[in-house]
Structure 1
Amino acid sequence: MSTIAPPPAPAPETPADDTPASAPARHATARALWLRWRWWGLCCLVLLLVGVLIAGIPAKEDHPALDPRSGAARGTRAADQLLQQRGITSGTAATAAELGRALREADTTVVLTRPNELTTRQLAELGSIGRGEHSRLLLLAPNQSALNAFAPGVRADYSAPDLKPPIGPGCDLPEAVAAGRVELDNQSFSGRPGDTACYPGSTLHALLSRTTGTQQVIVLGSADPLTNERLAHEGNAALALGLLGAHPRLVWQVADPHPQQDAPAPATPTTVPTAFPTTGSTGGGSTGGNSGGTTTDGPGDAPVERHGDHRTAQGEPRKKTLLDLVPAGWHWATYQLGLAALLAVAWRARRLGPVLGERLPAVVRASESTEGRARLYHRADARGHAAETLRRATRRRAAAALGLPHTSGDPDPAALTEAAAARLGRPPADLQHLLYGPAPTDDAALLRLADELDDMEWQVRQP
């Protein structure tokens, strides 16, 4: 004769803690959120830092060479600032109309930094203008068309220069005498009798001055003495300030934002690099080795595009692409980042090791599967899901032991609790709470629930 074991004594109630039960749950939830989102937060922080660094990078220089607003190596801001400190009023002129008004003004020095970009019509109009009294016109590395318009009789030599900088003035022009030895090594010129020729080579000179009444035209073969990078060399600063500061007002020619679509001034029959990207001119001339221009081999040749020139082979403006707006240094940075990414891929791939084959089907012990699933539940703090899994398994096994039908899904809750209560002699409410109650709030409650379910199932299986 078998006997039914008495039900286990209920576990003693633990005294209530001063800390609320939800505090550990909130802490565990915050930790789980941190572990889940920490890498995304780090990526956002890195992107924000990179954006701040990129925003702090100085913008690309928008002004071309020989522009008084440019602080680049080939700009002329340093000379312009020194002249303003001496009381010279500085201004700019971009269009032919603005240049014409500047040439008509008295007591004004006009600097044509890019005379080779003027069209044939513009040169003819500007050359016929009656210039103001006590005025000076300074031409920087002009081609023959510009010389014919502003200094008739002056011839430019585009062959290899015979100058060996630095060179002495070799003339009595006050500005050249005060400057002494300067750096001039580009074009050289020959003029008419009566012109003042300075900085001689073997046959020609790098500077010519022609005075007619109170009007003066100076032709300079190189713009190097005026640029920021060369201003402090030899006597360049003295020559630049002397040539530009003769009158109380100074006007610089700058690039025309809307150039005329007119026939350009004819070029010389030799290959001559221009100082800047042309805006409707194929004329020759050089201003001291500036990069980014066009090359012509004759009056009818089309300009050939070089680095920095945004014009097509037909001379039409070319639309800038996205790569044109990216600074040159960032191209190398992109290549370096790509190389670093490839090295990282090779490094991580090596750590993975060779591929190992496994015979299928693989046998996994039930204890390993149970422990693995339990670790996942514990890591995710899924106590409710774990408790429901234990209860569902207990309900199905208890229903089978009690002979209750459960062809699909769980057995009927009322029938299960009534049958179990009759078998065990316990109140149906206790079994209802045990089998269908709320989820445990901590790990200790989950362990107690598992023990109670195991004990109930053992008692139900007893005959």
Structure 2
Amino acid sequence: MSPSAPGRADAPVAPAPPVPPAPAGRAVPATSVSPTAAGLWRGGRSVLLVVVVMVAGALATVLLSGSGQGGRPLDPADASLSGGKGLARLLQARGVRVQRVTSVAEAVSLAGRAGPAGSTLLLSSGFPLTTDEAERLATTPSDLLLAGVRSRLWLLAPGVGADGEARARSREPRCDLPAATRAGSAHLGGVTLTLPADAVGCYPSGRRPTLVSLRTGARTVTVTGDDAFMSNLRLAEDGNAALAMNLAGARPALIWLTPPEAGPRAAATGAAGFYDLVPEGVRWAVAQVFLAVLLLALWRGRRLGPVVTERLPVVVRAAETVEGRARLYRARRARDRAAAALRAGFTDRVTPRLGLPSGAGADALVNAVAERTGQAAPYVGAALYGPPPADEAGLVALAAYMDFVERQVGQS
């Protein structure tokens, strides 16, 4: 039943006017809702860009990490940029026996069996040295080469200590130490060192040296401000290779002390935790993926722009919507809902004409309508707030009466 046609119980629905045919020679353009190649590219190019950046970062990490043991600094078995395999190969070609150890106990044992020619014990900055271990190393007969070591220097090299920061760059020896004068300029820095009496200081930064060599009893102790000049990355620059070979190859044997491994060997001894077993490359990959997801979330979560208008594929007339809803009310016999819709529409249209606020009560609305139209207040109240009609005839009568009252309000 259509509320818009009062007074008729079954009003016929007028057919929609026919759509005029398109002019000859002109085709009506069809609107396709299927995705196109251009739309797919615009929607997926951001995701593709993120994937390309992640793949490029992973490839760069793999290429820069080399084929060593995960990039262990100054490890004679590591061929990465930070490793020391290049120096180890040069020393072995020169006839120096390079012995790689991972514990102070093993290093002290090898130093005691070095023979009359002696050995050199190389300790880099990456080794976690304790006070007891430093005391044990200080009693060995081997020469000490402390590359970048800053802790426990008072035990290993009495009188030598870190004095200040120094930028790593190419420096001239400016001393009479044979190992330095034969090598020439070298890439040194890190920290400057205090120079005790009867010691030789080379490669100065300002007034302080970055390399100190001193005699302690029958052995030589050499301290450098950093150990980067011995790595695979810096070995071919300046005289770094010559300086490293002169310092580390002064004896027939080199005991190279490297940090303990965190991997399957450490797991076998129970010295490594779960995270120690995860390769370093996997951690970097997880960090890159997390960063990519965070950037993607920030990008996709930005403030929305203005609403984009688009042509609707189907235009539905307002009259068709009203008739369709009326038919639904009639099919379900929802006379109460139809009456409520008629009364709500009447109230919304009449209230502004009467000069009443939108929140006016029922009594104020009924009295104002009765006063304006001359209708009896009980009739108006029953029409607006009475019970729902009992049948279709009552609903049609209610719609006709409210239409009549609304016209009276508009004419008065």
Normalising by structure 1, what TM-score? 0.44
| Bigger relative CO (Cα 8 Å, ≥ 6 apart) | 2
